[in-house]
């Protein structure tokens, strides 16, 4: 009976409600449509622009799209293993392509670390060092940027602006600048990644601190604790698991970042990868990719496991 009443005639009030609802619906549809149309225009404009300014045109190059697959097929499967473990190749013709033993890191006269393992270790070390460095300074900065601990808006604003600038400043510029001052090597990459990490972690940290429970802080304040004691005994124990979780997330991101920075001249695995791809050394490229892939997965899995242990499932988001 209720349905029949609705379908036939509405009361005056009902009709008004019905009309408003229709209007609302129409307006929402119009906005959605306009938004999508705008997106479509922006997208087609962007695609045209990208295609017009690219060196090769999309449709001209499309047939060559899978060229890189053929660039990756080595002369024989065992070559990948030889490239990875620096074993001499039967195809060695004196060219760079097959001289795997070059670049071995000899620990003693006979025991060596294969070049790419060493480079991978270097990249990993860049990431870990700069994440620890970033955590240290982000940790110090975040308490000055949190509203609940730093009532002075000037100090807070200053700390936040510092972190914003550190975060937004292009890493490649920092790396390039220090590359010009220091010699070639991994240290410019470390400085670049560290500086970015201070900003990124500092921001995540102060958001955690702002959400902290202030009751321990109140208790310490009542007992006459100074600012340092309040932070150290009231806030830090609460936020430390979350900090560690963000630290691990950042570590995952930094492994990737230090690979990329390495490719533009900062040491580590990125540089041999870029060189071997551009010179068409299939076996070397594959060896590096496998190594990199395995490392990234290992770091991701380790960090996911540790994070689950530290904070449980709830803080399981990925941030970049």
Q: Does 25 bind other proteins (CB under 8 A)?
A: no
Q: Which stretch binds other proteins (CB under 8 A): 11-19, 50-58, 95-103, 145-153?
A: 50-58
Q: Alpha-carbon distance 291 to 218, whole Å?
A: 51
| Residue 38 burial by Cβ neighbours in a 10 Å radius (0-12, 13-18, 19+) | exposed
Task: Give, as ranges, the residues between 26 and 45 that touch other proteins (CB under 8 A).
Answer: 39, 42-43
Q: Does 1 bind other proteins (CB under 8 A)?
A: no
Residue 189 C-beta: closest distance to other proteins, Å: 10
Q: Does 88 bind other proteins (CB under 8 A)?
A: no
Q: Does 70 bind other proteins (CB under 8 A)?
A: no
Q: Which is nearer to other proteins, 111 or 180 (CB)?
A: 180
Q: How many helices (H) and strands (E) does the chain have?
A: 14, 2
Q: Alpha-carbon distance 52 to 32, whole Å?
A: 30
Q: Which is nearer to other proteins, 89 or 126 (CB)?
A: 126
Q: Which of 113, 158, 236, 289 binds other proteins (CB under 8 A)?
A: 289
Q: Alpha-carbon distance 75 to 90, whole Å?
A: 11
Q: Which stretch binds other proteins (CB under 8 A): 2-10, 20-28, 80-88, 268-276?
A: 268-276
Q: Does 292 bind other proteins (CB under 8 A)?
A: yes
* The two structure tokens encoding residue 271: 């540089």
Q: Which of 104, 156, 221, 256 binds other proteins (CB under 8 A)?
A: 256
Q: How many residues bind other proteins (CB under 8 A)?
A: 69
Per-position b or e across 205-235, b if 16+ CB within 10 A of its CB: bbebbeebeeebbeebeeeebeeeebbeebb
Q: Under a CB-based contact definition with an 8 Å cutoff, are residues 174 and 113 in contact? A: no
Q: Which is nearer to other proteins, 186 or 234 (CB)?
A: 186
* The two structure tokens encoding residue 139: 């940790």
Q: Alpha-carbon distance 102 to 28, whole Å?
A: 66
Q: Does 293 bind other proteins (CB under 8 A)?
A: yes
What is the x/- site pattern for other proteins, positions 193-232, by CB under 8 A? Answer: ----------x---x-------------------------
Residue 16 C-beta: closest distance to other proteins, Å: 26
Q: What is the DSSP letter of 313?
A: T
Torsion of CA 271, 277, 279, 284, to 10 degrees: 80
Q: Does 311 bind other proteins (CB under 8 A)?
A: no
> Between the CA of residue 111 and those of 104, 107, 108, 114, 179, what are the distances in Å?
10, 6, 5, 10, 32
Q: Which of 259, 272, 282, 286 binds other proteins (CB under 8 A)?
A: 259
Q: Which of 183, 222, 224, 228 binds other proteins (CB under 8 A)?
A: 183
Q: Alpha-carbon distance 22 to 26, whole Å?
A: 6
Q: Name the site residues for other proteins (rule: CB under 8 A).
A: 39, 42-43, 46-47, 49-51, 53-56, 58, 61, 64-68, 71, 122, 125, 128-129, 132, 164-165, 168-173, 176-177, 179-183, 185-187, 190, 203, 207, 256-257, 259-261, 263-264, 270, 273-274, 277-278, 289, 292-293, 296-297, 300, 316-320
């Amino acid at each position: 009976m209720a349905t029949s009443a609705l379908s036939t005639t509405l009361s005056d009030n009902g009709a008004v409600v019905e009309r408003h609802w229709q209007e609302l619906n129409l307006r929402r549809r119009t906005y959605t449509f306009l938004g999508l149309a705008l997106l479509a225009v922006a997208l087609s404009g962007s695609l045209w622009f990208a295609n017009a300014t690219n060196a090769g045109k999309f449709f001209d190059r499309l047939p060559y799209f899978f060229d890189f697959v053929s660039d990756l097929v080595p002369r024989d499967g065992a070559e990948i293993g030889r490239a990875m473990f620096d074993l001499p190749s039967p195809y060695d013709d004196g060219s760079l392509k097959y001289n795997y033993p070059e670049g071995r890191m000899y620990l003693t006269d006979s025991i060596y670390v294969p070049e790419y393992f060493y480079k991978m270790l270097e990249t990993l070390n860049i990431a870990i060092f700069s994440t620890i460095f970033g955590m240290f300074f982000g940790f110090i900065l975040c308490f000055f940027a949190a509203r609940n601990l730093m009532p002075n808006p000037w100090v807070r604003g200053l700390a936040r602006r510092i972190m914003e600038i550190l975060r937004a400043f292009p890493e490649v510029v920092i790396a390039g600048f220090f590359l010009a001052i220091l010699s070639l090597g991994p240290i410019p990459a470390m400085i670049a990644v560290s500086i970015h990490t201070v900003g990124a972690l500092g921001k995540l940290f102060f958001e955690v601190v702002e959400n902290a429970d202030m009751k321990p802080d109140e208790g310490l304040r009542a007992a006459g604790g100074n600012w340092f004691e309040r932070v150290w005994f009231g806030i830090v124990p609460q936020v430390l698991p979350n900090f560690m979780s963000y630290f691990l997330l950042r570590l995952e991101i930094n492994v990737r970042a230090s690979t990329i920075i390495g490719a533009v001249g900062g040491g580590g695995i990125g540089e041999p990868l870029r060189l071997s791809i551009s010179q068409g050394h299939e076996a070397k490229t594959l060896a590096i990719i496998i190594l990199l892939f395995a490392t990234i997965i290992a770091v991701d899995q380790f960090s996911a496991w540790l994070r689950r242990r530290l904070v449980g499932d709830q803080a399981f988001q990925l941030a970049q």
